[in-house]
Amino acid sequence: MENFNYYNPVQVLFGKGQIAKIGKLIPEDNKIMLTYGGGSIKRNGVREQVMQALQGRRVVEFGGIEPNPRYETLMKAVETTRQEKIDFLLAVGGGSVIDGTKFIAAAARFRGGDPWEILSREARVDDALPLAAVLTLPATGTEMNSNSVITRESTREKLAFSSRHVFPRFSVLDPETTYSLPRRQVANGVIDAFVHVMEQYYTPGGDPVQDRLAEGILRTLVELGPALVNDPPEYHSRATFTWTATLALNGLIACGVPQDWSTHHIGHELTALRGLDHGVTLAIVLPGVMQATAESRRRKLLQYAGRVWNIDPARPDAGALAIARTEAFFQELGVATRLSDYSIGAETIDLIMERFRERGYAQLGGIDDVNTGNAREILLSRL
Amino acid sequence: MENFNYYNPVQVLFGKGQIAKIGKLIPEDNKIMLTYGGGSIKRNGVREQVMQALQGRRVVEFGGIEPNPRYETLMKAVETTRQEKIDFLLAVGGGSVIDGTKFIAAAARFRGGDPWEILSREARVDDALPLAAVLTLPATGTEMNSNSVITRESTREKLAFSSRHVFPRFSVLDPETTYSLPRRQVANGVIDAFVHVMEQYYTPGGDPVQDRLAEGILRTLVELGPALVNDPPEYHSRATFTWTATLALNGLIACGVPQDWSTHHIGHELTALRGLDHGVTLAIVLPGVMQATAESRRRKLLQYAGRVWNIDPARPDAGALAIARTEAFFQELGVATRLSDYSIGAETIDLIMERFRERGYAQLGGIDDVNTGNAREILLSRL
């Protein structure tokens, strides 16, 4: 096991009826800005629950945070926090709303110049407005980590930052808030969580207990995924899914093991350039990354085949079969896994490679065997 | 999944050389009290590493905290914190030293009367001295939770308390500090961690992903245990063991599932009355609890048989076999699992039952099927 430093102070309130408790967790005298997205929280009753829990409190609303939250929109929210003298941000929504709110929190107290540099130059975040979250879409894990991914529309860039100052003070995970999600968003959420785990597990390294935790999460998603997407919502499976997506990226399974974020890295370009759903990009890219690394990560690929898919690792085709099963799993969730399914061709691949070159990238996700040398080949294999 | 509230702000610094970083994590102006046990940290060089990391700082030492830390000793330490105007407690040792230091921290700032009531009446802990830990014995998980178990010698009682004020600010887990542990303590640690997981997993309830995490930790201990105890210390397996013991009781696998702490509960009485090692008491009691609940928890017993021991759950003797394998595993670690192996007979069982009656207990660990009605039978089956 490699050395690590683990710290995650997010308080998780999980289950039915937990939204009612949020009033007590935000300091009495704080002026709160409630942030949300396209307004689904108004239709599904979540906003009403939140407002009821905050009755008698000073609350300002900022809606309209986009999927793949835009820098331009978030900077307007930063302006509002200043005009309204906001003390506390409460994000109500999915990964985009929470990620966007993390950026608002950091940018509102950023004194180091242009807040864009938090994303473009990893400018240091020394402070942030306190924030919390009410999660409505299990997928990204942002409700229990310190990461955020933001898109700049004007330059079509999708970039990430991380700071311990943007850990949510608390996050409410009520599985019932997911009942109104469209099928497509549930499928994307399952894929996002699955790929998060793979990026912390499917590497040349690992550790016995960390591998077991990762495999446990993967198996749960494999066993639960199709019913989550195809059946009417039901509390227990939605609860397991909600917590599983959080576990997939709350820092725990990353402890002491190598990581390879190349699937996300490449996927972000497909979203930034062609507007594909985040989950869809991962379903397209992961099988290509697995194929390209099947030799360099052979031991782990066979372990994955055996433990996640019950494929006999002694079979000569065990590795290939495990990759095929992974892709078939995404398809079973209703997600097409080829670039051509989305009318994306070689010219987009050229554009991505050009961007990697411009930014001076060599390896793409943390491990040498996925790099700008084989990224084109990976993407071509996914046409 | 049941509702839950998870919060764990302990920063974990894991790996070789991490002790050197502790100086930076304790506020510069704080006067530190270093707490430890019987002095093994002087012989194995850990104290020297700690003192080097604290060079130039004001440090007072308080040694002599016993295995099963005694209230009487700890109250002397509380006195020292007052006389010396201590700001920060640094526990260097195993579970007893860290548990004891948590009690010192809480008692030093307890304003509600006699600090014994923190243990005897669950008196509320509203404040505590800040504390941190350097762990030298993986076993109890106390380095990453808010629990503490204390023994009062004068009345032979062993009682627990829990408060979010006694979470360590940070804990250093350096697997190399475990190299000098006697074989017996390693075996006890493996058993302690194993039983912690069982008490959060082997119940009539559960959740798909939480079960997978628990099973992953159990399998890791099963695969690693015998070599940990029998072979010379080696970094990777000690590292996995260290982290596994922490995962077993840092609150994570308890999220959303029922728990049954009856094995610990009964075991504590054996330690308090007869001085048995904590791990030994668990190895004795757990097979009895499993046997007594084999029918009421049949579904989970068969799942455990299949997933942890690769026993075909369709076998008519699958449950019995899983219990036998569990007991054999403890024996393989060099721990005898019968009361008679320790010259303990029916009179001690009578004494334990008498104590449960005096305290007015009904169920013993959180689930109805282990209670004062069948505790005698459980213990008699372990003679």
Q: Verify whether the Cβ–Cβ distance B14 to A208 is below 8 Å.
A: no
Distances (CA, A) of B119 to B74, B151, B161, B273: 13, 9, 6, 18
User: Long-range contacts of range B83-87, CB-CB < 8 Å, 24 or more positions apart?
Assistant: B84/B31, B84/B33, B84/B60, B85/B31, B86/B31, B86/B32, B86/B33, B86/B60, B86/B129, B87/B27, B87/B29, B87/B30, B87/B31, B87/B32, B87/B129, B87/B130
Residue A268 in contact with residue A158, Cβ under 8 Å?
yes
List the pLDDT tens digit at each of the 383 positions of chain A.
Answer: 999 999 999 999 999 999 999 999 999 999 999 999 998 999 999 999 999 999 999 999 999 999 999 999 999 999 999 999 999 999 999 999 999 999 999 999 999 899 999 999 999 999 999 999 999 999 999 999 999 999 998 988 889 999 999 999 999 999 999 999 999 999 999 999 999 999 999 999 999 999 999 999 999 999 999 999 999 999 999 999 999 999 999 999 999 999 999 999 999 999 999 999 999 999 999 999 999 999 999 999 999 999 999 999 999 999 999 999 999 999 999 999 999 999 999 999 999 999 999 988 888 999 999 999 999 999 999 99
**Rounded Cα–Cα distance for residues B163 and B222 (Å):** 32
Report the pLDDT value the prediction gives residue A158, as an integer from 0 to 100: 87
Report the pLDDT value the prediction gives residue A359, as an integer from 0 to 100: 87
Q: Tell me whether 0.85 is exceeded by the ipTM.
A: yes
Three-class DSSP category at A133:
strand
Residue B37 burial by CB count (10 A; 0-12/13-18/19+): exposed, middle or buried?
Answer: buried
Dihedrals φ, ψ of A33, to 5°?
-110, 120
Q: Quote the mean pLDDT of chain B.
A: 97
Gyration radius of chain A's alpha carbons: 20
Please give the residue of chain A at the shortest CA–CA distance from B250. A252
Please give the residue of chain B at the shortest CA–CA distance from A10. B7
Residue A187 in contact with residue A226, Cβ under 8 Å?
no
Q: Using the 8-state DSSP alphabet, how is residue A66 labeled?
A: P
Element (H, E) at B219: helix B208-230
pLDDT band for B301, please (50, 70, 90 cuts).
Answer: very high
C-alpha closest to that of A279 among A309, A306, A245, A240: A245
All CATH 3.40.50.1970 domain ranges of chain B, comma separated, are 11-177
- Chain centroid to CA B320: how far? 27
Mean pLDDT of B77-92: 98
Residue located via tokens 């119940």: B203
Element (H, E) at B162: strand B157-162
Using the Cβ of B207 and the Cβ atoms of chain A, whether some distance falls under 8 Å is answered with yes
Interface A-B: count of C-beta contacts within 8 A: 125
**Rounded Cα–Cα distance for residues B281 and B267 (Å):** 5
Residue B383 in contact with residue B338, Cβ under 8 Å?
yes
The whole model's pTM is what?
0.97
- The count of other CB atoms within 10 Å of the CB of residue A162 is 15
Structural tokens at position B196: 């912690």
Contact residues for A359 (Cβ-Cβ < 8 A; gap 6+): none
C-alpha closest to that of B12 among B100, B193, B191, B142: B142
All CATH 1.20.1090.10 domain ranges of chain B, comma separated, are 183-380
C-alpha closest to that of A98 among A128, A55, A142: A142
- Nearest CA of chain B to the CA of A209: how many Å? 6
Report the pLDDT value the prediction gives residue A357, as an integer from 0 to 100: 94
Residue A15 in contact with residue B7, Cβ under 8 Å?
no
**Rounded Cα–Cα distance for residues A283 and A260 (Å):** 16
Sign of CA dihedral B362, B365, B366, B370: negative
The conformational region for residue B138 under phi > 0 = left, psi -120 to 50 = alpha, else beta, is beta
Contacting residues of A for B210, CB less than 8 Å apart? 243
Residue B51 in contact with residue B59, Cβ under 8 Å?
yes
Report the pLDDT value the prediction gives residue A362, as an integer from 0 to 100: 87
Element (H, E) at B34: strand B32-35
Contacting residues of A for B12, CB less than 8 Å apart? 4-7, 255
Using the Cβ of B212 and the Cβ atoms of chain A, whether some distance falls under 8 Å is answered with yes
Q: Verify whether the Cβ–Cβ distance B207 to A13 is below 8 Å.
A: no
**Rounded Cα–Cα distance for residues B311 and B317 (Å):** 9
Residues 1 through 20 of chain A touching chain B, CB cutoff 8 Å: 1-18
Gyration radius of chain B's alpha carbons: 20
- Chain centroid to CA B152: how far? 17
- Nearest CA of chain B to the CA of A207: how many Å? 7
Residue B130 in contact with residue B32, Cβ under 8 Å?
no
C-alpha closest to that of A130 among A97, A99, A170: A170
Q: Verify whether the Cβ–Cβ distance B243 to A18 is below 8 Å.
A: no
% of chain B residues with pLDDT over 70:
100
pLDDT band for B156, please (50, 70, 90 cuts).
Answer: confident
Q: Verify whether the Cβ–Cβ distance A215 to B217 is below 8 Å.
A: no
**Rounded Cα–Cα distance for residues A235 and A322 (Å):** 30
* Amino acid code (one letter) for A45: G
Q: Verify whether the Cβ–Cβ distance A12 to B6 is below 8 Å.
A: yes
Report the pLDDT value the prediction gives residue B224, as an integer from 0 to 100: 98
Contacting residues of A for B22, CB less than 8 Å apart? none
Structural tokens at position A156: 């079509």
Residue located via tokens 């052979």: A298
Please give the residue of chain A at the shortest CA–CA distance from B18. A3
Q: Verify whether the Cβ–Cβ distance A243 to B209 is below 8 Å.
A: yes
Please give the residue of chain A at the shortest CA–CA distance from B243. A209
Fold classification of B183-380 is Dehydroquinate synthase-like, alpha domain (1.20.1090)
Residue A316 burial by CB count (10 A; 0-12/13-18/19+): exposed, middle or buried?
Answer: exposed
Q: Verify whether the Cβ–Cβ distance A220 to B239 is below 8 Å.
A: no
**Rounded Cα–Cα distance for residues B214 and B150 (Å):** 27
For Cα atoms A101, A102, A107, give the angle at the middle one, nearest 5 degrees. 95
Using the Cβ of A247 and the Cβ atoms of chain B, whether some distance falls under 8 Å is answered with yes
Structural tokens at position A376: 């084109």
**Rounded Cα–Cα distance for residues A80 and A330 (Å):** 40
Furthest CA-CA distance within chain B: 66
Q: Verify whether the Cβ–Cβ distance B207 to A11 is below 8 Å.
A: no
C-alpha closest to that of B38 among B182, B148, B154: B182
Contacting residues of B for A219, CB less than 8 Å apart? 212
Element (H, E) at A326: helix A318-332
Pick the CATH number of A11-177 from 3.40.50.880, 3.40.50.300, 3.40.50.720, 3.40.50.1970: 3.40.50.1970
Residue B198 in contact with residue B282, Cβ under 8 Å?
no
Interface test with A, best of B24, B209, B215, B249 (most A CBs within 10 A): B209
Structural tokens at position B129: 């001295």
- Nearest CA of chain B to the CA of A256: how many Å? 8
Strand order in the sheet with A4-6: A4-6, B11-14, B170-173, B131-135, B88-93, B32-35, B59-62
Q: DSSP of A11-42, one letter per residue?
A: EEEESTTGGGGHHHHS-TT--EEEE-SSSHHH
Distances (CA, A) of A315 to A211, A305, A306, A312, A322: 21, 10, 10, 6, 11
pLDDT band for B362, please (50, 70, 90 cuts).
Answer: confident
Kindly tell me if the per-residue pLDDT of B130 is higher than 90. Answer: yes
Residue A134 in contact with residue A172, Cβ under 8 Å?
yes
Report the pLDDT value the prediction gives residue B157, as an integer from 0 to 100: 87
Of the listed ranges A356-360, B251-255, B322-326, B334-338, the one predicted with least confidence = A356-360
- Nearest CA of chain B to the CA of A12: how many Å? 5
Strand order in the sheet with B4-6: A59-62, A32-35, A88-93, A131-135, A170-173, A11-14, B4-6
C-alpha closest to that of A118 among A104, A135, A134, A133: A104
**Rounded Cα–Cα distance for residues A40 and A17 (Å):** 19
For Cα atoms B363, B366, B372, give the angle at the middle one, nearest 5 degrees. 15
Q: Which is it for strands A131-135 and A88-93: parallel, antiparallel or unpaired?
A: parallel
